[in-house]
Amino acid sequence: MAGSELRWGVVGTGWIAGMFVNDILAPRASGPAKHVLGAAGTTSSIDKAEKFIDAHWKGEGQRPKAYGSYQEVYDAPDIDIIYIATPHSLHKQNCLDAIKAGKHVLCEKPFTINSKEGEEVVAAAKAKGVFLMEAVWTRFFPLAIELEKKIQEGVIGRVWRSIIQIGFGGDWDALPASSRLKDPALGGGALLDLCIYPISYSSLIFGRGQLGEDHPEVKVTSSMDIANGADEADVVTLQYKTPDNHSQTAVCIATVLANSPQDFGRIEGKEGSITLYTKLGPSCPTGFRVTNAKGEEQDFPFTHAEGTFGFIYEADAVAQDIFAGRTESSRMPLAETLRVMRLMDQVRAQNGLVYPQDQA
């Protein structure tokens, strides 16, 4: 690692990997880190990795290396951190292999298929002393940080209820059964891909800044519509208590059968409400409106830096942690990742949704 330069190796070359690389390589005048794409790897063919580099590398510095295996990326001596953007079912082994090679790891959400897998990965990273984080990118948006701040400052008073909903936005019926979005063996369905976002928003809204083991106690009730082993629609209700024992309710709705509304979230408090809105999907909010008890509105729109989509914020946060010698993020600590994984395990158990990995 050279100075403030962070050298990334990417495994998985799908859409989200491309968006992430576009962000970290976007030109900018200054920032807390200089991100470098050092390598990309895929198990299908080295040609696919070369095409990924051709599509996303900006031509600055040395050309990234293309590899026809993930292990070659992990073993590359000029790589500091691995970004894992493979199907959910591969995350555990990808993380373990990268950690064994002594690399820091940023793993796409969901972290693993279940909490048991997640615990194994976290233990390996702690034993090796490397940085590890789940890439829940939305948590790092300046908008999300400002939203959490305003709620904690009491801009709408005591919060009573939130309703956050997210949809797939594609043609679900047109996807083959083998799609990673549908196949239970790959963690397909609405919960791991979509519902994790409303659950994460609920943490920001009702968590009082406390994460992981310090997070307030939550009562979980849920329902799922399951077809061919994958959940197509989920409703998860999280019931919190205020410090003075009043009820707070978070309703998390996810479906693969409908699109997300532009006004995808509503937070209701004693002295007003907040509406979350987006032009790009709930995982990428573009603003929120605060309405006080008198009906007066204040808008807080948000735009990303030119040429970026929003992944740069988590990448910069990771870089700052690594440069400071930290092995996890205070914004997305490993205990919070495991808390959410256990919560999603509980939701599946309530509805009889079992993945093959649960029986391993």
Assigned domain for 325 exists: no
Assigned domain for 297 exists: yes
Say which CATH number the domain at 277 has. 3.30.360.10
User: What does pTM read for this prediction?
Assistant: 0.96
pLDDT score recorded for residue 67:
98
pLDDT score recorded for residue 307:
86
55-89: pLDDT as tens digits: 999 888 899 999 999 999 999 999 999 999 999 99
Percent with pLDDT over 90 in the chain? 92
pLDDT score recorded for residue 44:
87
Regarding whether 119 and 152 lie in a shared domain, the answer is no
Regarding whether 161 and 230 lie in a shared domain, the answer is yes
Regarding whether 122 and 145 lie in a shared domain, the answer is no
198-223: pLDDT as tens digits: 999 999 999 999 999 999 999 999 99
Q: Work out the pLDDT band at 3, boundaries 50, 70, 90.
A: low
Counting every residue written for the chain, the total comes to 360
More confident residue, 306 or 229: 229
Regarding whether 278 and 177 lie in a shared domain, the answer is yes
Regarding whether 188 and 71 lie in a shared domain, the answer is no
Assigned domain for 163 exists: yes
Q: Give every CB contact of residue 151 below 8 A, 6+ residues apart in sequence.
A: 159, 204, 205, 267, 274
Task: Tell whether the model's pLDDT for residue 1 goes beyond 70.
Answer: no
Assigned domain for 200 exists: yes
Regarding whether 144 and 132 lie in a shared domain, the answer is no
217-276: pLDDT as tens digits: 999 999 999 999 999 999 999 999 988 999 999 999 999 999 999 999 999 999 999 999
Regarding whether 144 and 122 lie in a shared domain, the answer is no
Range of the domain at 147: 139-309+340-359
Mean pLDDT of 127-135: 99
Regarding whether 301 and 224 lie in a shared domain, the answer is yes
Assigned domain for 224 exists: yes
Regarding whether 177 and 130 lie in a shared domain, the answer is no
Number of domains in the chain: 2
Assigned domain for 196 exists: yes
Say which CATH number the domain at 9 has. 3.40.50.720
Identify residue 154 by its one-letter amino acid code: G
Assigned domain for 220 exists: yes
Regarding whether 221 and 167 lie in a shared domain, the answer is yes
* Domain end point (choices 136, 170, 203): 136
Regarding whether 159 and 132 lie in a shared domain, the answer is no
155-168: pLDDT as tens digits: 999 999 999 999 99
Quote the mean pLDDT of the chain: 96
Radius of gyration, CA atoms only, the chain: 20
Closest CA to 109 of 227, 200, 27, 46: 200
Q: Give every CB contact of residue 56 below 8 A, 6+ residues apart in sequence.
A: 18, 21, 22, 25, 37
Regarding whether 126 and 144 lie in a shared domain, the answer is no
